[in-house]
A and B are shown apart, each in its own frame.
Chain A
Amino acid sequence: MLSAGGVGGPIGRAFLLVGLVGALFGFVSCVMGMRQKDEKVLRLSLRFATLSAVSALGAFVAMEYAMITRDFSLDYIQKVGSRSTPALYNFTAVWSALEGSILMWLLALALMTTWVAWRYRTKITDPLVACALATMFVTAFFFFLLTVGPANPFAQGAAGVTDGPGPNPLLQNHILVLFHPPILYIGYVGFTIPFAFAIGALVTGRVGEGWLLETRRWALFSWGFLTFGIVLGGWWSYEVLGWSGVWAWDPVENASLLPWITGTAYIHSVLVQERRGMLRVWNLSLLVATFSLTILGTFLTRSGILNSVHAFSESDIGPYLLAFFAIIVVVSLILIGWRGDRLRAPGIIDSPLSREGAFLANNVLFSVFAFVVLLGTVFPLIVEAVQNRQIVVGEPFFDSLATPIGIVMLFLMCIAPVLPWRKASAELLSQRLFWPAWCGVAALAVAVILGATGVEPLLTFTLGGFATGAALRQLVLATRRQKWRGLVGRANGGMIVHIGVIMISVALAASNSYTRSQELTLTKGVPASFGGHTFELTGFVEESDARRTSIKVDVSVDGGKSYRPAIHKFTSMGQNVGTPSVKSSWSKDIYLTLEPPVKPTSDEAKIKVFIKPMMTWMWAGGILMAIGTVLSAFPGRRRRPTDPVSAPVLTPSSTEAAS
């Protein structure tokens, strides 16, 4: 075996087997330790967690080694490796197809399992922690199983292969391939931790709020990475795909959005539980839904039953994922049914017009949104199963339903931040909402003066201004009282996240509604104009190497700097990949693509120009969301965790004492 290829394959396979055994033994030691109440046995699980993490890391390194040394004895390297791929894209080629992606998933999961095990090592005797850890071991075991079975990245390939096609051209075209997938995966995989704690809480019946503080922070961690990963994905699409959009409602995108939606619902509704001790069943269900949606999404997009631009390869892991999904759902439902009586919350929500009421409305909206996205994604499958007919559900469907949902969400973001817990009066609202509402009117006025048209974008701008006002009001009040500390904590950090979301919504509304586009045939030395800008072809650049042939054109915009849209023809795949060139400013982007066919000898080139307003706001909003998430992970000056959450809300004396 060794003589046939490099050492990467055998070593990788060995690591994966050791990891598989480690995860299994970790699970067994958790369960046995719990049953025998033996701390020594429980402590063994720490070792097994470390063992499986080291194994996963070892396997990943072995894969990288095989990729870097171009070990074409492995089937996977034959699929995605190539002697002509540059070092960076060769490194990232490890996660450019299914088996490597599962390996990366496994690596993240095994590291997180170890992190959880060591973080709670002093509490390992607590059945809840042991149970959560056992759940994580089961999940890790499942993914190790995938890698030694149907998605084995170290499977031997056909003999005699000396070169491969390399990764899909789209995955060797932009630096973001190094960041978007790993960040997204950390978010995706991270939701295993809150899920594991939810299962722990259900099994032990300790469905009070003790576990909640921990879970909330883990959920926020995963949510932050998922959010940032999604935003980076949008940016990547914009920079690479050449149709000037950020989101196509592609099944894989939807698969990442679904857990994001339920996760967002959770990090809002969990506050009601922390504060009032209510919605326990609901919150557990959201965590279960979030985790199971990550598995379902992976099943839908990786089993080959739904295809998309992201499905760079398929395999037969579908039945495994479906079975795992079914097990998660059935076990969780049984546990929730079994513990249902203990989950009953004592309190009630007094009025719909309260902070709690707003969180409930938020949850209804997010649930409907998740349902819409899931339905639209699987509807072609349903139609095919029922009527044996093929249909496509695409962007216009999702847009037409997501727009009203988004507008109502924006409206909630206007009202909810100023609502008190328990109950609000009309008088109170009219006081608190006054200036935020004027912010909305001001935003509308500015938009109208700048020439905005259409009801939906105008409503978005108005509500965006209003919601920004509401968020700023909270931040101003908090910083006035607590100086810089008024920016940290979940309420204040959350408001910064809100402002980021608003910026993204406004940017989406503006760019979807007011994009201008035109195809221009440019002749050297003759400027053409469109949308108040002039475009002049100043030259051609041709480059060629073993990997690809590139034709680029220099286009001077408004007589100034040159931009260089290009078309690359990848030799091994024979595929054309365009690379747009973008001139960005705060008000608008000028997005240029080169349209085939290009004849450098003719002094003529056809380009397509998109003028897209406010795109920069979208990326700024994404950064703001990331900053806000970090800030809200720090504890603010709130109720001490040891205080009972169902304690009376507030008495004047406690307020005085605290402030």
Chain B
Amino acid sequence: MERSRSSRLKSWPMWMLMGVVTVCLLAIGAGRDGGPLTQQERIDSITKRLACPTCDGESVFVSQASAAVNIKNEVARQVATGQRDDEEIVAFIEERFGGRVLLVPRATGFDSLVWVLPVTVLVCSVAGLAATFRRWRREQGLVPSDDDRALVARLLAEDPEDNDEVPR
């Protein structure tokens, strides 16, 4: 008796409700503005995208090296005057200090490989996995009919806890 009440509670209308609530909350949260940034926060977010030219792999934000401090001060000056937006400041710094200050590879030319390859690997491995599942299904020799599935589903529904979580 209790089980059936619990099953009814967990039926699709409740899931629908959950979906609606989630979407609404996400929309509220994602739609609103996080409030204005302080100048320092703008400086931080810009310097996180710039590489310190004299140190290896550190961002200007992280580094304490004098070259990094110079760039940091330049960014601070630019932010303080308020005439350029973040992208323009990055472009300005790049022009002034050379291409090595960018911490993010470009999405064009040879550098784009660093973005393309991960996606390719992901697509290939998912496709490979899907192909393997297809092969497994073929090897299995028989595909369960809808009746078989219904039978299994019915039996499982009778005892939803019946699996390996039971200690043995």
What is the interface of chain A, defined by CB distance below 8 A to chain B?
Answer: 241-243, 245, 248-251, 275, 306-309, 311, 348-350, 352, 355, 360-361, 364, 367-368, 371-372, 375-376, 379, 383, 386-387, 390-397, 400-401, 420-421, 423, 425, 427-428, 430-432, 434, 437-438, 440-441, 444-445, 447-448, 452-455, 458-459, 462, 474, 477-478, 481-482, 491, 514-519, 530, 576, 578, 608, 636-639, 649-650, 652, 654-655, 658-659
Q: Of B30, B103, B161, which contacts A392 at CB under 8 A?
A: B103
What would 28 A/B residue contacts be, using CB atoms closer than 8 Å?
A308-B58, A355-B164, A360-B129, A364-B129, A367-B125, A368-B118, A368-B121, A368-B125, A375-B118, A379-B105, A393-B103, A393-B104, A394-B59, A394-B104, A396-B48, A401-B118, A425-B153, A427-B157, A431-B10, A441-B18, A444-B25, A445-B21, A477-B165, A517-B38, A650-B164, A655-B162, A658-B166, A658-B167
Q: Of B10, B100, B133, which contacts A352 at CB under 8 A?
A: B133
A49 to chain B, nearest CB (A): 38
Verify if B126 is at the interface (C-beta below 8 Å from A).
Answer: yes
Verify if B131 is at the interface (C-beta below 8 Å from A).
Answer: no
Which 4 pairs across A and B sit closest by C-beta, in order of nearness?
A: A420-B163, A307-B56, A394-B103, A658-B168
Q: Closest B-chain residue to A254, C-beta based?
A: B57
Chain A residues with CB below 8 A from B129, complex form = 360-361, 364
B13 to chain A, nearest CB (A): 11
> Interface digits, B114-140 against A, CB 8 Å rule (1 contact, 0 not)?
100110011001100100010011011
Q: Which of B39-56 contact A (CB under 8 A)?
A: 40-41, 44, 48-49, 51, 55-56
B49 close to A396 (CB less than 8 A): yes
Q: How long is the Cα–Cα vector from A437 to B10 in the complex, in angstroms?
A: 11
B156 close to A427 (CB less than 8 A): yes
Contact flag A391-B126 (CB < 8 Å), given A427-B156, A445-B25: no
Contact flag A421-B165 (CB < 8 Å), given A375-B117, A401-B118, A437-B18: no
What is the interface of chain B, defined by CB distance below 8 A to chain A?
Answer: 6-7, 9-12, 14-15, 18, 21-22, 25-26, 28-30, 32-34, 38, 40-41, 44, 48-49, 51, 55-59, 61-62, 64, 99-100, 102-105, 110-111, 113-114, 117-118, 121-122, 125-126, 129, 133, 136-137, 139-140, 152-153, 156-157, 160-168
Q: Closest B-chain residue to A658, C-beta based?
A: B168
Q: Closest B-chain residue to A400, C-beta based?
A: B104
Q: Closest A-chain residue to B69, C-beta based?
A: A596
B26 close to A458 (CB less than 8 A): yes
Known pairs A420-B164, A427-B157 / 18 extra A-B pairs, C-beta < 8 Å: A241-B62, A307-B56, A348-B139, A368-B118, A372-B118, A387-B110, A395-B48, A423-B152, A430-B15, A431-B10, A441-B21, A445-B25, A448-B29, A478-B165, A517-B44, A519-B40, A638-B167, A658-B167
Q: How long is the Cα–Cα vector from A438 to B78 in the complex, in angstroms?
A: 47
A421 close to B164 (CB less than 8 A): yes
A453 close to B122 (CB less than 8 A): no
Contact flag A250-B57 (CB < 8 Å), given A383-B110, A434-B10: yes
Q: How long is the Cα–Cα vector from A357 to B53 in the complex, in angstroms?
A: 46
Contact flag A453-B34 (CB < 8 Å), given A243-B62, A364-B126, A394-B103: yes
Chain A residues with CB below 8 A from B64, complex form = 242, 576, 578
B111 close to A383 (CB less than 8 A): yes
A649 close to B157 (CB less than 8 A): no
A392 close to B25 (CB less than 8 A): no
B133 close to A349 (CB less than 8 A): yes
- How many residue pairs, one in A and one in B, have C-beta atoms under 8 Å apart? 213
B102 close to A392 (CB less than 8 A): yes
A448 close to B111 (CB less than 8 A): no
Q: Of B18, B25, B61, B104, which contacts A438 at CB under 8 A?
A: B18
B140 close to A350 (CB less than 8 A): yes
Residue among A250, A375, A391, A401 with max Cβ neighbours from chain B (10 Å): A391
A639 close to B168 (CB less than 8 A): yes
Q: How long is the Cα–Cα vector from A639 to B62 in the complex, in angstroms?
A: 50
B47 to chain A, nearest CB (A): 10
Contact flag A649-B164 (CB < 8 Å), given A360-B129, A434-B14: yes
Q: How long is the Cα–Cα vector from A430 to B153 in the complex, in angstroms?
A: 13
Q: How long is the Cα–Cα vector from A251 to B56 in the complex, in angstroms?
A: 9
Q: Of B41, B103, B133, B160, which contacts A395 at CB under 8 A?
A: B103
Q: Of A245, A432, A458, A481, which contacts B62 at CB under 8 A?
A: A245
Contact flag A431-B7 (CB < 8 Å), given A348-B140, A364-B129: yes
Chain A residues with CB below 8 A from B40, complex form = 517-519, 608
B165 close to A474 (CB less than 8 A): yes
Q: How long is the Cα–Cα vector from A516 to B104 in the complex, in angstroms?
A: 23
Q: How long is the Cα–Cα vector from A293 to B21 in the complex, in angstroms?
A: 45
B32 close to A453 (CB less than 8 A): yes
Q: Closest B-chain residue to A578, C-beta based?
A: B64
Q: Closest B-chain residue to A243, C-beta based?
A: B62
B57 close to A394 (CB less than 8 A): yes
A453 close to B167 (CB less than 8 A): no
Q: Closest B-chain residue to A462, C-beta based?
A: B22
A458 close to B30 (CB less than 8 A): yes
Contact flag A393-B105 (CB < 8 Å), given A428-B157, A441-B21, A453-B34: yes
Q: How long is the Cα–Cα vector from A361 to B125 in the complex, in angstroms?
A: 10
Chain B residues with CB below 8 A from A481, complex form = 166-167
B64 to chain A, nearest CB (A): 7
Chain B residues with CB below 8 A from A387, complex form = 110
Q: Of A248, A371, A482, A652, which contacts B167 at CB under 8 A?
A: A482
Q: How long is the Cα–Cα vector from A392 to B7 in the complex, in angstroms?
A: 55
Q: How long is the Cα–Cα vector from A455 to B32 in the complex, in angstroms?
A: 11
A658 to chain B, nearest CB (A): 4
Q: How long is the Cα–Cα vector from A186 to B137 in the complex, in angstroms?
A: 43
Chain A residues with CB below 8 A from B126, complex form = 364
Chain A residues with CB below 8 A from B62, complex form = 241, 243, 245, 248
Chain A residues with CB below 8 A from B104, complex form = 393-394, 396-397, 400
B142 to chain A, nearest CB (A): 12
B133 to chain A, nearest CB (A): 6
A448 close to B118 (CB less than 8 A): no
Chain A residues with CB below 8 A from B99, complex form = 391
Q: Closest A-chain residue to B10, C-beta based?
A: A434
A392 close to B163 (CB less than 8 A): no
Q: How long is the Cα–Cα vector from A430 to B19 in the complex, in angstroms?
A: 13
Q: Closest A-chain residue to B136, C-beta based?
A: A348
